[in-house]
Structure 1
Amino acid sequence: MIPAAFPPWTRAETLGASVPEFAAFQDEPPQMSSGTVGKTGFLRLGFERRSGTTILANLERRAPYMVQRALHCDEQMPGLAYVFLITTTGCLLQGDRLALDVTLRPRAQAHITSQSATKIHAMDANYAAQSQTITLADDAYLEFLPDPVIPHRHSRFISDTQISIAPSATLLLSEIIQPGRKHHHPDECFGATVFSISTAAARPDGRPLFAEKLVIEPRRYVMRQTGVMDSFDVFANVILCAPKNKVERIHDRVLADVNRAEGMAFGACRLPNDAGLIFKVLGRETAQVKAKVREFWGVVRKEVVGAELPPPYLWR
């Protein structure tokens, strides 16, 4: 554990220094060293429920991370706080360190998404790192559904998400990973050097629920093989942590299928320790994967809070 007195981005800095897949990328960028101002973004969001509405009660930020304000734009859930994550740089560069801390107090309800896809640029030194901490109190409800991540050719990225969730709370967390700019250049498709994502969850008393780690190293392991990506290009990993009775109802409504003609494969399975479900989607195009994730999101929202999804925005 990192002492609380240390800057929040220190955890993001230590991520790549402590895992073997990043041992070869500890050199510093010649432009700006990692850990300098402008490359260490920090965002702390604290949501509270007041008078039937969730508000953004606590906001701390350091560029390039920022949030402007919480909106209440969902007609199906008028008390839901809707927040867009913004990075003023518009992309991740070598040496960048981002730290996100999200806390929902009892009965708070929030939806967090991003301004656009997260683009990870090509790198010839060091790497980019992201640390996320999510804490949900009793009966809290969080939809964390950012736009896809696009790792460019020769990019290096590590992300770690730590979740603390009360038994009565609900978290829907989605990650959609594209193969790169596959229509830009043939070498862009699965051209990243290393892409590492880990997620772990525990109860507020520290009891562990589950942990998952995904490491993609296209130069070392063939992506076009059965059991990896095969003929698919886009991957979605959706984690649902929710009370057991709601999880069972959701699981009964979620189908599983492999349809090579349409270029889709998807299915859900239970997480250990009655933590919830994990829903995975493979597709050839981003739009079809996002549509399947939206279907799952709609089932979750209906079963957990009894509300429908809002109409999709025209630009999404």
Structure 2
Amino acid sequence: MTAVPHAFEEYGDETLEQAPAFGPGKDGVFEATLVREPGEETRLLRDYAKVPYHLTGTLDSDPAPGLTTLCLQEPTGGVAQGDRHSIDVTARANARAHVTTQSATKVHSMRANYAHLDATLEVGADAHLEYVPGPTILNEDARCLQTTSVELAETASAIVGDVLIPDGLSDHEPFAFDHYYSRFDARCDGQLVCTDAIDLRPDERDPRDPATVDEYGIVGTLYVLAPAEDAASLSDRVHDRLASLKATTAGASELSCGAGVAVRVLGHRSADVTEAVTAAWDEARRAILGVGAPADRRY
């Protein structure tokens, strides 16, 4: 599991009155290895799921040739204080897969400790892996740490997306959560090509500071890792697609070493931001696979 930032280490020292961190039902683990022979469909070679994660199998309705879908289910209804969830997916050479969730990730209110959602993705030569889960919804007083790391071969590609909704599901003001920290790291053949972090602490939020999300309420992010593609052309394609959407403010930037594109979207409504992130995902897919995002599994 990815190293924990200092601030969240301090939270981790806080004891819980109920089940402790890593206790039964709180230490969710999902591991999967996908393989594909040339010209065939991608198949699941190995998988392991520990409550609260559950997988019923693969879906093969994606329009991209040879691409299979894994839809993770979580029957517990949300993420509570002290939860530690870890996802580890490996797409071996030539495999094509899309990993998603059945619904949004609801991070409930907390009185102590924190929740950690960790994802590790490994993409082999000529493989393509997508991790586009449902939005992350933060409730009042929630503390959530999200860490994602990607290791890919020079001829591989990966797409990782997320939408943050900070107004929760209960009757309280937006940005009433305690602390949200998201960190993304990507390496191509061992070389770091992208590191990005979002650190939001509403009690310290200053709307006059341009380094915050300003007056916007919803944050969307998409990372497109495709070292074999023309990063400048890919960035222009995604930028032009986003420019046609007037309800959001968005930008697309080339990554280091021409490894791909990073996209950030800000908006006032979750529907507008998810539409923009989906549009960027769709355009990136067309550039890499020649096929758009699956209509039945968009946000």
Asked if these proteins are the same fold (TM beyond 0.5), I'd say yes
1:31 to 5, 18, 37: 18
TM-score (norm. length: structure 2): 0.92
1:287 aligns with 2:275: no
2:57 to 55, 69, 72: 69
2:42 to 54, 75, 87: 54
1:239 aligns with 2:239: no
**Partner of residue 6, structure 1:** none
Which blocks of at least 5 consecutive residues in structure 1 are unaligned? 1-10
1:203 aligns with 2:188: yes
Which blocks of at least 5 consecutive residues in structure 2 are unaligned? none
Measured after TM superposition, the shift of residue 25 of structure 1 is 5.0
CA distance in 1, matches of 2:191, 2:12: 34
Measured after TM superposition, the shift of residue 295 of structure 1 is 1.3
* Matches for 1:135-154 after TM superposition, within 5 Å: 135-154=122-141
Alignment-mate amino acid for residue 194 of structure 2: F
CA distance in 2, matches of 1:97, 1:53: 33
2:257 to 273, 277, 284: 273
CA distance in 2, matches of 1:200, 1:147: 20
CA distance in 2, matches of 1:40, 1:24: 17
Per-residue deviation, residues 217-243 of structure 1 (Å, max 9, x unmatched): 001223575442222111111111102
Aligned length in residues: 297
CA distance in 1, matches of 2:144, 2:270: 20
CA distance in 2, matches of 1:224, 1:39: 39
CA distance in 2, matches of 1:77, 1:262: 29
Find the residue that maps to 1:67 and give its secondary structure: coil
**Conserved in 2, the CA contact under 8 Å of 1:148 and 1:175?**
yes
**Partner of residue 114, structure 2:** 127
Per-residue deviation, residues 112-169 of structure 1 (Å, max 9, x unmatched): 1111000000000111112211000001111211110001010011121121110111
CA distance in 2, matches of 1:133, 1:258: 28
**Conserved in 2, the CA contact under 8 Å of 1:210 and 1:273?**
no
* Matches for 1:69-108 after TM superposition, within 5 Å: 69-74=57-62, 76-108=63-95
**Conserved in 1, the CA contact under 8 Å of 2:241 and 2:280?**
no
CA distance in 2, matches of 1:155, 1:237: 20
Measured after TM superposition, the shift of residue 302 of structure 1 is 1.2
Find the residue that maps to 1:277 and give its secondary structure: strand
Measured after TM superposition, the shift of residue 210 of structure 1 is 2.2
**Conserved in 1, the CA contact under 8 Å of 2:222 and 2:281?**
no
TM-score (norm. length: structure 1): 0.87
Distance verdict in 2 for CA 1:121–1:136, change over 3 Å: same
CA distance in 2, matches of 1:262, 1:227: 22
CA distance in 2, matches of 1:224, 1:82: 42
Identity of counterpart residues, as a percentage? 27
Distance verdict in 2 for CA 1:24–1:142, change over 3 Å: closer
RMSD of the TM alignment (CA)?
2.3
**Partner of residue 190, structure 1:** 175
**Partner of residue 152, structure 2:** 165
Find the residue that maps to 2:286 and give its secondary structure: helix
1:174 to 161, 174, 177: 161
**Conserved in 1, the CA contact under 8 Å of 2:242 and 2:280?**
no
**Partner of residue 8, structure 1:** none
Per-residue deviation, residues 154-201 of structure 1 (Å, max 9, x unmatched): 00111211211101111110011012237x4242x0111011111111
